[in-house]
Amino acid sequence: MENIDLANTLVEVSEQKHLIEIVGTEEKPASNIEISNLKFEHTQRTFMEKYEPLLRSDWTIYRGGAIFIEGAKDIKIENCEFTNLGGNAIFVSNFNRNIEISNNHIHNIGASAICLVGSPEAVRSPSFQYNEFMPLPKMDTIKGPKNNKYPSNVLVDNNLIYKIGRIEKQTAGVEIAMAMNITVSNNSIYDVPRAGVNIGDGTWGGHIIEYNDVFNTVLESGDHGAFNSWGRDRFWHPNRETMNGIVEANPKMPTWDATQTTIIRNNRFRCDHGWDIDLDDGSSNYQIYNNLCLNGGIKLREGFNRTVENNITINNGFHPHVWFKNSNDIFKSNIVFTEHRDIRLQEWGKEVDFNFFPDQKTLLASQNKGVDKHSIFGNPLFEDAKSGNYKLKNNSRAFEIGFKNFDMTGFGVKNKKLKALAKTPNTPIIFFSGVSEKSSVYEWLGAKIKNITTIEERSAAGLNKTAGVLITSIDENGIIGNSSLKVGDVIISCQGLEINEFANLMKSFQNDSWLGKLDLLVFRNQKELKIELPLKK
């Protein structure tokens, strides 16, 4: 390595947190400004700056970015590159209308790519911590925002976003909080520590999330999704029984803040460390359809008025968690690969039916929960699953439950220059029964593994039956490479579940990966060995 003469070397240090500020007021907005064809680079790190909480979500945030916009109308940011930044790239703060952020290349930055964040002053009876609650006699019961201090009519389109959150981990490709009518479309977002797209609360909905390609997410966190949302709005109370009573007495309360429906459609999501679509704590008033979910499935936690239909969940399925009484939730005409994985459900919403399962056993496991009376099972007959084309062939039985084909080619950036740079997600091997190939080699957590399928493999491992999952190679830089597992180990149990094939292992992994570790039993050198597998490097 060449020696550097520091006495005669020029060292430049970033001094600015913001490079361009566009600031006006609601009464006199900055307007009709275009920023295009510029490169933004080298801003100060902001992780030690003052952070503010975003209502009752898990987030706090630094309100600033390389481009900061507040009190503006009719602003366009396009064809710019943002890289090597210490904090957020673009921050749209408080009152803003008709903002377009399009065709930008945002990569290798310290925090979030695009933040659209209003003011708590626009929220009626806001609460800021999970355990806070405004007593009902003191609560403002008027529907919708209190004033106009929030972004609305914002278009985030055709942006290539990756390798963000290099310093700050509570980040997203697109962060939406206290905003209304935001469209996030045709973006490619990947290699991020947490969510690709995050909506921090229910105020005030009307968002459209469509034709995005979001993958390699939740790489440095957990209990999250490629798309993630919260909805801890005015109806939220830290005590579940109290909250049940509040909403039962005030059934329209969940739409006081989530006034408009948020639509998630025609996206491709993949999350290997959580859910592909994760509607958490109270997220309400959503329509979710025509999405291709490649790994983590769809989760709906407490909330109201969610309709989920015509989605494909490869190697996974539906995760309904602790639903409310009279939630009005609907889950129908979806292709799933697992039985429903409910947690503490007493009521199953308005309708869970007319879904398509891979085999009779999986269907019966869901029907035994009292749902899916009219659902059916079989091979969905994808046109070319190995290449990522999951359109159904004309003779697929899935059409019988109302499923309709949707486009498999329109995900992510369409800008030719950015599309040439953009990655696409790995196409999964299908491993659940009815559709799986028993002899396939699977990639999992940085290792290649396969089912024990022959007498020769059984004999070589010293097993007493032809079952288990054999590790054939390990990438030393992967998660398994940083564990005590070895090539030649046969996984025979995970979290106490007997592992006869890869599908068993994935079922256990998908159920319990949020714990951050798995307890395995492997067969090595003719002996059983207990191994704890951490799920983070």
Instruction: Report the Cα 476 to chain-centroid distance in Å.
Output: 27
Instruction: Report yes or no: 209 and 184 within 8 Å, Cβ to Cβ.
Output: yes
The span from the CA of 510 to the CA of 300, in Å, is 15
Query: pLDDT by residue (tens digit) across 246-293?
Result: 999 999 999 999 999 999 999 999 998 899 999 999 999 999 999 999
Residue 500's identity, in one-letter code, is N
Residue 1 pLDDT exceeds 60: no
Strand partners, 184: 156, 209
Average pLDDT for residues 231-257, to the nearest whole number?
A: 92
Residues 6+ apart with CB under 8 A from 135: none
Phi, psi of 122 (to 5 degrees): -85, -5
The residue among 203, 166, 179 whose CA lies nearest residue 46 is 166
* pTM tops 0.85: yes
Q: Is the dihedral of CA 528, 529, 530, 536 positive or negative?
A: negative
The span from the CA of 11 to the CA of 15, in Å, is 13
Residues 6+ apart with CB under 8 A from 178: 54, 55, 117, 118, 119, 120, 122, 123, 150, 200, 201, 203
Give residue for tokens 């209502």.
55
Query: pLDDT by residue (tens digit) across 50-103?
Result: 999 999 988 899 999 999 999 999 999 999 999 999 999 999 999 999 999 999
The span from the CA of 348 to the CA of 331, in Å, is 10
